[in-house]
Chains A and B, each alone.
Chain A
Amino acid sequence: GAGVSQSPRYKVAKRGQDVALRCDPISGHVSLFWYQQALGQGPEFLTYFQNEAQLDKSGLPSDRFFAERPEGSVSTLKIQRTQQEDSAVYLCASSSSSAGTFFSPLHFGNGTRLTVT
């Protein structure tokens, strides 16, 4: 597609529920990133995929957070047993460059706003 697509746009979950957020990156982009953005803050890095390999998951806040990109294209971020502090906008971004190389600009999706009640 023309840009990074994320779904759903909004998600309301009750505390303790599991959620799955989807990201469809720009076609052919090697790198895919997940970020979490709380209100009034800059995006915080969660995890990075190069093709299907998850090369960096240092930003995942707990083992309740899990991400996958099984075929090197679409990615899913799953949050188990959601808590109120998980409420945030989850941004996905893709890039044509690979890890360790000259960093190309990230192209962001519009995000999924997660509200945990």
Chain B
Amino acid sequence: AQSVAQPEDQVNVAEGNPLTVKCTYSVSGNPYLFWYVQYPNRGLQFLLKYITGDNLVKGSYGFEAEFNKSQTSFHLKKPSALVSDSALYFCAVKEWGSASKIIFGSGTRLSIRP
């Protein structure tokens, strides 16, 4: 069975500082990994995904994520946070070749203070 965990309910960062939102996953085979962002009263928006290849994936709005197979992690990062990055972030995983659907984590609320 596949699963995904976001160990932090909330992350607080000062504007201009680097940010990291953590995600770990569990699948039997090869994972597909995703990050989505949700702004208040909106649906989820795709940020980036890892399928194969380079472990560092670049996405929208200056975000990037690093795939680490040995640690089964896919942490979301940004070098310099903006107040407008404040939102709810979801990590998701899908096992390649599995009939099961994508599984979402419980979400991490990112708060950037001016």
Bind each other: no
